[in-house]
Amino acid sequence: MSPDAFLAATTTFAGPTINSIKDNTEVQSLLDSLRSVIFCVDNKLNITLANQSARQWRDSILLEKLEHLLHLWEEPEQCRDSFYKVLKSGQAIMASREKLVIRGRNHFYSCDIIPVLEGGKRATAVMFVLDDVSDSVNREKKLEESEARYRAFISNSTDAIWRYDVCPPIDVRLPQDEQVELILKRAELREANEKMARLFGVSNLQALFGTPLHRNGSMTSKSDIATFVENNYRLEDLEFTRIDSHGRKAYMQSSAIGIVENGFLIRAWGTTRDVTEKKRYLNRMQYLADHDPLTSLPNRSLLYRTVDEAILNRKSDRKLALLLIDLDRFKEINDTLGHLAGDKVLKQIGPRLETEMGDVPGLVARLGGDEFAIFLSNIRNAPQAAVMGHRFLDAISQVFDLEGYHTEISASIGVAICPDQAENTSELLRYADVAMYNAKTGLKGVEIYDPKLDPNSAKRLELVSALGRAIREDQFYLVFQPKLALQSYELEGFEALLRWKHPEFGYIPPGEFVPLAESSNLIHAMTIWVMEQTVKQCAHWLKKELKIRIAMNLSPRNLLDERIVEELSRMLKHYDVPGDMLEMEITENMLMSDPTRARIALEKINSLGVHLAIDDFGTGYSSLAYLKRLPVQTLKIDGSFIQGMEEDEQDKIIVNSTIQMAHSLGLKVVAECVETEEVFNKLRDLGCDLVQGYYVSKPMDTDEAAEWMLNLKKAESSD
CATH number for position 426: 3.30.70.270
- Please check whether residue 173 lies inside any domain of the structure: yes
Total structural domains within the chain: 4
pLDDT in tens, 76-116: 998 999 999 999 988 999 988 898 888 788 899 999 999 98
Residue after which a domain boundary falls, among 455, 480, 508: 455
Q: Mark whether 202 and 306 lie in a shared domain.
A: no
| CATH number of the domain encompassing residue 668 | 3.20.20.450
> Do 173 and 232 share a domain, yes or no?
yes
pTM of the model: 0.43
Task: Look up the domain containing 195 and give its range.
Answer: 157-274
Task: Find the range with the poorest average confidence among 63-67, 143-147, 270-274, 573-577.
Answer: 143-147
Percent of the chain clearing pLDDT 70 (strictly above): 88
In this structure, the answer to whether residues 299 and 438 fall within a common structural domain is yes
Q: Whole-angstrom Cα distance, residue 251 to residue 241?
A: 5
Domain boundary among 455, 474, 494: 455
Residue 590 clears pLDDT 60, i.e. is over it: yes
Residue 239 shares a structural domain with residue 365: no
In-domain check, residue 429: yes
Q: Are residues 97 and 24 part of one domain?
A: yes
| Long-range CB pairs of 640-645, under 8 A, 24+ apart, other chains included | 640/673, 642/671, 642/672, 642/673, 642/674, 642/679, 642/683, 642/693, 643/673, 643/675, 643/679, 645/679, 645/682, 645/683
Question: Is there a domain that residue 149 lies in?
Answer: no
Residue 142 falls inside a structural domain: no
pLDDT at 494: 96
Residue 226: give its domain's CATH number.
3.30.450.20
Name the E strands within 158-248: 160-171, 187-192, 234-243
- Are residues 433 and 529 located together in one domain of the fold? no
Q: Does residue 197 contact residue 205 with C-beta atoms inside 8 Å?
A: yes
- The per-residue pLDDT for range 226-242, each reduced to its tens digit, is 989 999 999 888 887 77
598 within a domain of the structure (yes/no) = yes
* pLDDT of 16 strictly over 80: no
Q: How far apart are CA 517 and CA 511, in angstroms?
A: 11
Secondary structure class of 419 (helix, strand, coil): coil
pLDDT digits (tens, 9 = 90+) for 526-559: 999 999 999 999 999 999 888 899 999 988 777 7
Give, in order, the Cα–Cα distances in Å from 67 to each of 62, 78, 121, 130, 251: 11, 13, 27, 17, 70
Do residues 520 and 572 both lie within one domain?
A: yes
Whether residue 491 is found in the same domain as residue 638? yes
Residue 589 has pLDDT above 50, yes or no: yes
Q: Are residues 579 and 518 in the same domain?
A: yes
- The last residue of one of the domains, among 455, 470, 502, is 455
| Residues ≥6 apart with Cβ < 8 Å to 93 | 82, 85, 86, 111, 112, 113
pLDDT of residue 15: 35
Same domain assignment for residues 265 and 307: no
- 47: Cα separation from own chain's centroid: 72
* Separation in Å, CA 276 to CA 220, 361, 661: 18, 31, 17
Residues 60 and 104 placed together within one structural domain of the fold: yes
